[in-house]
Amino acid sequence: MAGKVFFSVSMSLDGFIVPESMEWLVATPEQRAQDPRLERSMAQWMQLQAWAFPQRFFRENLKLGEGGEEGRDNDIARETFERTGASVMGKRMFDVGEPAWPEEAPFHTPVFVVTHEKRDPWERPGGTTFHFVNDGIQTALDQAREAAGDRDVRVAGGGATILEYVNAGLIDEFSIALSPVLFGSGIRLFEGVDAGRVALEPVRAEPTQRVTHLTYAVRER
Ligand SMILES: NC(=O)c1ccc[n+]([C@@H]2O[C@H](COP(=O)([O-])OP(=O)(O)OC[C@H]3O[C@@H](n4cnc5c(N)ncnc54)[C@H](OP(=O)(O)O)[C@@H]3O)[C@@H](O)[C@H]2O)c1
């Protein structure tokens, strides 16, 4: 039986999944100190992901160190990983991750990057191979489904790519970790959504001490 197509992201309470800039990731401490926009964006990203960083699973998978919390947030992070047989992502998410992920990239399954750039597959130790797909989101999804077998396909991000899949009616379900932070600007998850087409059905709402996990099934209107 084919699995579901889903996405799972952390979102600020005012609807953003990316702050104004992600340049802080490659900036030096001096550059950040001179540019309040970089400092602010870094602080916002840390607050957005504050629920995930302390979790044992997240720390193990991103090679951030031993130990960590083992409550419901940790279970949800692990369950999201375990249900995923393959991922699809946009090129900008890949570009942000390429210098930041550990050598053993945290997917451990095939990843299909939708892009205009032609590039040979990039195989990492630990089971992640990035395949670069140049003929659109449907082809990337077909390849991901094939690779995932019975497991689910995760549209990992970022905002532009998730929106393409939502508007094409290709998402079955999504989860949002709603973080207690306001961004004011950045990339909004649902900016440009074809709202007349998408109907949502609540599946689950789970508050923890750090964040609120919301899951919806997507139906056609
Ligand atoms: N908050 C969260 O939980 C979360 C989760 C995941 C990601 N993110 C963040 O999301 C950000 C990236 O999101 P984004 O919205 O800026 O970009 P994105 O969706 O990652 O990538 C968009 C790019 O992918 C390529 N692309 C997308 N659709 C295509 C198509 N149909 N055909 C060919 N190429 C296509 C294009 O790049 P080219 O033309 O260059 O090929 C396009 O500019 C990152 O900063 C990442 O950290 C946040």
Model confidence over 131-150: pLDDT tens digits?
999 999 999 999 999 999 99
Residue of 93, 174, 185 to test ligand 1 pocket, by largest number of atoms within 8 Å of CB: 93
Summarize pLDDT for 34-50 with one digit per residue, the tens.
999 999 999 999 999 99
Model pLDDT, residue 1: 60
71 Cα–ligand 1 center, Å: 31
- Could you please state the CATH topology (level 3) that the domain comprising 5-18+81-220 is classified under: Dihydrofolate Reductase, subunit A (3.40.430)
Query: Is the C-beta atom of 96 inside 6 A of ligand 1?
Result: yes
Contact between 108 and 97 under an 8 Å Cβ cutoff? The reply is: no
User: Which secondary structure element, helix H or strand E, spans residue 190, and what is its range?
Assistant: none
CA-134 nearest atom, ligand 1? 33
How many Å is the Cα radius of gyration of the chain?
17
Residue of 6, 16, 18 to test ligand 1 pocket, by largest number of atoms within 8 Å of CB: 18
138-162 in b/e form (b: 16+ CB < 10 A) is: eebbebbbebbeebbbbbbbbbbbb
Locate the domains of the chain by residue range. Answer: 5-18+81-220
CA-93 nearest atom, ligand 1? 20
Stated pTM of the model:
0.96
